[in-house]
Structure 1
Amino acid sequence: MSRFVDIRIDPAIVRRAARGDARAHEIIYRAFSAPVYSIGLRFTRVPAHAEDLTQETFVEVMRSIGSFRGEAPLGSWIRRIAISKALMLLRSAWQSRGQQLDEGWEDFTPQRGQDGNAAPDATIDLDSALAQLPPVGRTVVWLHDVEGFTHREIAALMGKTESFSKSQLSRAYQRLRPMLQVDEEELADSKTTAGTVLGSC
Structure 2
Amino acid sequence: MNPDAFGLESALVSRARTGDEEALEAVFHAYRTQVYNLGRRICGNEEDAEDVLQDTFLEVCRSINRFRGDGSLWGWVRRVAASKAFMLLRRERIRSGRTVSGDGLSPDAFGVAPREPTGPIDLEAALSRLSPVTRAVLWLHDVEGYTHEEIGELMEKTASFSKSQLSRAHRRLREWLG
Aligned to 1:174: 171
Alignment TM-score, normalising by the size of structure 1 = 0.76
| Residues 155 and 161 in structure 1, CA contact (< 8 A), matched pair in contact too | yes
Residues 45-67 of structure 1: CA deviation (Å, up to 9, x unaligned) = 22222112111101110111112
d(CA) in 2 for partners of 1:27, 1:103? 37
Query: Partner of 1:105: helix, strand, or coil?
Result: coil
| Residues 24 and 61 in structure 2, CA contact (< 8 A), matched pair in contact too | yes
Partner amino acid, structure 2, of 1:100 = V
Once the two structures are TM-superposed, the CA of residue 109 in structure 1 deviates from its matched residue by 3.8
State the Cα RMSD in Å. Answer: 1.8
Once the two structures are TM-superposed, the CA of residue 7 in structure 1 deviates from its matched residue by 5.0
Aligned to 1:105: 107
Q: Relative CO higher for 1 or 2, CA cutoff 8 Å, sep ≥ 6? A: 1
Aligned to 2:144: 147
Q: Answer with 99-108 or 54-63: which moved more.
A: 99-108
State, as a whole percentage, how many aligned pairs show the same letter.
Answer: 47
Once the two structures are TM-superposed, the CA of residue 112 in structure 1 deviates from its matched residue by 3.9
Partner amino acid, structure 2, of 1:43 = I
d(CA) in 2 for partners of 1:7, 1:22? 16
d(CA) in 2 for partners of 1:65, 1:103? 33
Aligned pair count reads 167
| Residues 25 and 62 in structure 1, CA contact (< 8 A), matched pair in contact too | yes
Alignment TM-score, normalising by the size of structure 2 = 0.86
Partner amino acid, structure 1, of 2:52 = L
Change in 2 beyond 3 A, CA 1:128/1:109: closer
| Residues 44 and 132 in structure 2, CA contact (< 8 A), matched pair in contact too | no
Once the two structures are TM-superposed, the CA of residue 44 in structure 1 deviates from its matched residue by 2.0
| Residues 3 and 12 in structure 2, CA contact (< 8 A), matched pair in contact too | no
| Unaligned 5+ runs, structure 1 | 1-5, 114-118, 182-201
Aligned to 2:31: 32
| Residues 14 and 24 in structure 1, CA contact (< 8 A), matched pair in contact too | yes
